[in-house]
Amino acid sequence: MTQHTGGTMTDDRPAERTAAGTPRPRAHFTARDTWFNDPNGLLFHDGVYHLFFQNNPHGSTWGNMSWGHATSTDLVEWTEQPVAIPCTEDELVFSGSAVVDHRNTAGFAGDDETALVAIYTSVATDGPALQTQSLAYSLDAGATWTRYASNPVLDIGSAEFRDPKVFWHGGEDGHWVMPVVEATEHLVAVYTSPDLKDWTRASDFGPAHAVGGVWECPDLFPLRVEGTDETRWVLIVSLNPGGIAGGSGTQYFVGDFDGERFTAERLTDSPDLVDYDWLDFGRDYYAAVSFSNVPDGRRLMIGWASNWDYANDTPTAPWRSAMSLVREIGLTRARDGRHVLRQLPVLPDDAVRLTLGAAGAVAQHDDGAAVLVFDASAPLSAGSVTTFVLDAADGPAGEDLRLVVDADAGTFSCDRTRSAGEVFHADFASVDTAPIPDAAQAAGSLELQIVVDACVVEVYAAGGVATFTELVFPSAPYTRLRRLA
């Protein structure tokens, strides 16, 4: 298979525009000419980041689920590799994770070899569509993969049991841990194993907070609280539908983990979705999980920049779907004592950075194929309402995305109801709202970083404490940001 780049383009990959006229993203990974959804098997090994993903190798809508594969050395420029784990007549290959088996616990590696091991959900194509957990391994740094002959390694007789996210807990006397969901029961089951093959159920978490759809794609990892020596654990849970912005969404819980059981430090019985903790307040950030084996203790995540409400219909061809930017994740303590995540994007070196001035100001760059990063600030004095308009300087009037910061309401919103040149799905138009972080309230202003990359817009507020990820499909790519007087 011909290799090609899915981040900053350096090869001859087709740069097709979307049906609406927006070019293919440069810094957000897209497949050459096929469909993908969830990121899978994220890991770092021998200087290379590996991004596996749910892929239909034979078309541009969901189906034939296999693990696609891309690699990068900088988290921005991605090279698509041959399909890693293809579906077969008997098995679809659903989401999962991958680890570097440094201790050769599974016994797949020989002398002077290191095994990469993928743990994925296997879905039978014959009879009941049972979901079981299976293994595949690579002895050549991820280039080729072999299914384990004794698959599956975990079977509870369920058709809603998926998305294992495996990591090593402890030192040399530690063990493997697998959070995995019972999707319709809104449970994250935690299993442990000494060797990736024999698993014991240790605990369950849930139901909790948002349960308006099936739970999917869990992740569990430690983070140091910024400015302290304290460590907390973060449990990520995606759900569809039932997200904060409608359709797909991703919530998180902060707490403690003892190697077998996760305990959340804050749970509420409130039915209001805004009272929960959300990884992103936009429509298009789902199934986000983190990379394993990353050096220097960094926690890096990437999500699928789409929404199941309309993902199969987005107006792109021959490719469909993009990943988000990779985000570095931190944990900070809010003024009310709550622990909240902070997310900052990994940006390409050649991104064009622009700063917006006061009321009536305009920041503009004429190259619609460039990755644009706008910095802006909105006052939070009593009665202030600030509107930012993102649009194409030479495009049709009114095809824009608007960010509105309302100091008295304590909210900022992202209005993309006019962001598509052509209406391609009834559920696409939306106005999405987030609470203004309390740190911004205390500072008296909301600082915004707005990243524009063709059909993907990512907004980072208050240093990344709140984010929006939104698809847009205007007739011409967005090139300017205006502050209305």
Closest CA to 147 of 96, 71, 216, 182: 96
Residue 123 has phi, psi (to 5 degrees) of -115, 120
* Cβ contact 118:98 at 8 Å: yes
Strand, coil or helix: what is 184? helix
The CA distance from 353 to 376, in Å, is: 11
| CB half-sphere exposure, 38, CA atoms < 13 A | 30
Cα 276 to chain center, whole Å? 18
CB < 8 Å & 24+ apart, contacts of 428-435? 428/309, 428/310, 428/471, 430/245, 430/246, 430/283, 432/244, 432/245, 432/281, 432/282, 432/283, 432/468, 432/470, 433/281, 434/281, 434/461, 434/466, 434/468, 435/274, 435/410, 435/411, 435/466
Torsion of CA 206, 134, 57, 18, to 10 degrees: 20
Residue 132 has phi, psi (to 5 degrees) of -130, 165
Burial of 475 (0-12, 13-18, 19+ CB in 10 A): middle
Closest CA to 159 of 185, 184, 131, 124: 131
Structural tokens at position 172 = 């040399």
* Cβ contact 72:5 at 8 Å: no
The CA distance from 346 to 359, in Å, is: 29
Annotated catalytic residue: which of 11, 12, 33, 38? 38
91: left (phi over 0), alpha (psi -120 to 50) or beta: beta
38 as an active site residue: the answer is: yes
Tell me: cis bond preceding 241? Omega within 30 of 0 counts: yes
The CA distance from 338 to 344, in Å, is: 19
The CA distance from 318 to 337, in Å, is: 48
Cα first-last separation, the chain: 53
Closest CA to 314 of 48, 63, 60, 26: 60
324 DSSP assignment:
P
Catalytic residue set? 38
